[in-house]
């Protein structure tokens, strides 16, 4: 019984080490998302941080600020979602699909 528990603990430690490594790697990976047919582009990393935001000058209309705000929100939210999906996909490879609360 103790030997089985020891093996489980060793596997858990190996999984934790692999997850930490994957998290570090994901911090350097980036995803892009666009809105308005590419008029607004947001870039995020694997930590769900927005790294860059580009707005094409053609979409800037002082008479319609709300549209620009909507496009920015849409691009940023999609970039964050893509980043979260990327993290979830990579972590599920490590955990074999197990959902471990608080890990990601």
All domains in the chain, ordered by first residue: 2-95 (3.30.1310.10)
Burial class (CB in 10 A: 0-12, 13-18, 19+), 35: buried
pLDDT per residue as tens digits for the range 20-59: 888 888 889 999 999 999 999 999 999 999 999 999 999 9
Lowest mean pLDDT among 2-6, 25-29, 72-76: 2-6
pLDDT reported for residue 91: 85
The two structure tokens encoding residue 93: 């490879």
Share of the chain above pLDDT 90, in %: 57
Q: What is the dihedral of CA 5, 10, 11, 15, to 10 degrees?
A: 140
For residue 1, pLDDT over 60 is answered with no
Among the listed residues 65, 64, 44, 66, the one whose alpha carbon sits nearest the alpha carbon of residue 54: 44
pTM of the model: 0.76
pLDDT reported for residue 30: 96
d(CA 74, CA 58): 17
Inter-CA distances, 98 with 1, 15, 44, Å: 24, 11, 25
């Amino acid at each position: 019984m103790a030997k089985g528990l020891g093996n489980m603990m060793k596997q858990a430690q190996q999984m934790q080490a692999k997850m930490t490594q994957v998290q570090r790697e994901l911090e350097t990976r980036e995803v892009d998302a666009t809105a308005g047919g590419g008029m607004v582009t947001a870039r995020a990393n694997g930590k769900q941080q927005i790294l860059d935001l580009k707005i094409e000058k053609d979409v800037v209309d002082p008479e319609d600020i709300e549209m620009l705000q909507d496009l920015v929100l849409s691009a940023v939210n999609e970039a964050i979602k893509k980043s979260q999906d990327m993290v979830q996909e990579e972590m599920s490879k490590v955990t074999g699909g197990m959902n471990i609360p608080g890990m990601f």
